[in-house]
Amino acid sequence: MNLRIQTYDSTTAVEALEKGLDDLMDLCDVVTEKFTAARDAHMAAEEDRMRS
């Protein structure tokens, strides 16, 4: 994985890196939430199918 950090205006490299890492963590949280919801829906559908 490559993480590209670009500075602009008066932003320091450290501030840009921290923001980039925070954004990456937020993205990982969203992916985890969506995966968990899809997995739970799939498991519920499988249980319903097995009962039928």
User: Is-contact 6 16, C-beta < 8 A?
Assistant: yes
**Rounded CA separation 6/16 (Å):** 7
Read off the pTM: 0.74
pLDDT digits (tens, 9 = 90+) for 8-46: 888 899 999 999 899 999 999 999 999 999 999 999 999
Task: Tell me the CA distances in angstroms from 37 to 13, 24, 49, one per residue in order.
Answer: 36, 20, 18
pLDDT tier for residue 5 given thresholds of 50, 70 and 90: confident
